[in-house]
Amino acid sequence: MADSKAALEESAKNVEEEVRRVVEQAKELQDSVASSISKASSDELSLRHRALSLESSIRRLQSLLRSLLSYHLLDPKLVNKLQEELERARCIMVDGDAATYLRGKNQGGFLRMFLGPINVRASRKDVQLKVKEEYNSYRDRTALLFLLFPSILLILRSWIWDGCLPAFPVQLYQAWLLFLYTGLALRENILRENGSDIHPWWIYHHYCAMIMALVSLTWEVKGQPNCAQKQRGVQLFLQWAMMQGVAMLLQNRYQRQRLYTRIALGKAKRMDVVWGETAGVDGQLWLLCPILFILQGFEAYVGLLLLQTAYLGVVSEWQYRHS
């Protein structure tokens, strides 16, 4: 007890000095970090200026070569060789760490609406590639859920719910669709900010899918009596969603193989991702393309049923009606 008290008395004598020393160390650390950040900012500004200047020189030389070729002032073979070398230089910049200092695409209104006016462009290439890999993983996970979710609903409808779907599980699925398409649109906008080649129309079609999912939340899912007839539209939609899930899984598989090949051949950048239905491999002509055509035909069939419903007024769950 006496030793403990003596130790506390000794600490009481030194505590003021230790606190003062810790405060001084914190100030020194802050000054060192601020100096380091200032030096890094100065170096970054210089590198950015060099990168933009080099990018401008590549564009100027490419334009000059096209002009020289049009006036037949240079041999076409030489022009092609020089253009390939310029393209190689551009790929070195765009596909390397120097891409951080190049001009990015203008941030769209969709990102500003959800995230505000913040910079979503990663400062390092490895971080940009992680964003791309996370996008690919998200597509794989959601494609599997796109197949499983409606399958489970249809199985439960037959085995447990006596052929009549409750409203809540269907609306939960529709809410998940809204979350899915919103997540895809956000990730794709961020990828474009970081140098990906995703075309705007691919992102716009996810905006349309978001609107579709939002409208589907207003469906009135009616039950008994005549549940099978009233829920015919919902059943067809779930069957279509299952086919869409299969198509998405096949697209992700075949298109990614094709993309890896294009990157290895130097025809695509590491930040490029698969999009649309045009980047597949030859094997998909025998498997994926027929599924896509069948899917579109089935979607047209559902659309015709909707038109019939609108004119004849047989089924009412597709649109909420105020009495």
Q: What is the pLDDT confidence band of residue 277, given thresholds at 50, 70 and 90?
A: very low
The CA-based angle 114-181-188, given to 5 degrees, is: 65
Given a contact cutoff of 8 angstroms between Cβ atoms, the answer to whether 257 and 281 are in contact is yes
Which sign, positive or negative, has the C-alpha torsion 108, 109, 114, 119? positive
Which sign, positive or negative, has the C-alpha torsion 164, 167, 171, 173? negative
Which residues fall within 8 angstroms of residue 192, CB to CB, at 6 or more apart?
A: 105, 108, 198, 203
In order of 171, 188, 240, 293, the CA distances from 243 in angstroms are 20, 24, 5, 11
Which residues fall within 8 angstroms of residue 309, CB to CB, at 6 or more apart?
A: 233, 315, 318
Residue 298: its H or E element? helix 288-312
In the chain the first and final C-alpha atoms are separated, in Å, by 84
What are the structure tokens assigned to 174, written together? 């529709």
| pTM of structure | 0.66
Given a contact cutoff of 8 angstroms between Cβ atoms, the answer to whether 69 and 76 are in contact is yes
Q: What is the pLDDT confidence band of residue 178, given thresholds at 50, 70 and 90?
A: very high
Helix residue ranges per DSSP H, 160-231: 167-193, 200-216, 227-230
Residue 318, pLDDT score: 42
Domain borders along the chain are: 2-101, 115-312
Whose structure tokens read 């401008």?
Answer: 56
Q: What is the pLDDT confidence band of residue 281, given thresholds at 50, 70 and 90?
A: very low
Per-residue pLDDT at 182 exceeds 90: yes
Q: Which amino acid is at 238?
A: L
- d(CA 295, CA 321) in angstroms, rounded, equals 29
- d(CA 53, CA 104) in angstroms, rounded, equals 15
Whose structure tokens read 């269907």?
Answer: 170
71-105 pLDDT tens trace: 877 888 888 888 888 888 877 777 666 666 666 66
Per-residue pLDDT at 323 exceeds 60: no
Given a contact cutoff of 8 angstroms between Cβ atoms, the answer to whether 246 and 147 are in contact is yes
Q: What is the pLDDT confidence band of residue 181, given thresholds at 50, 70 and 90?
A: very high
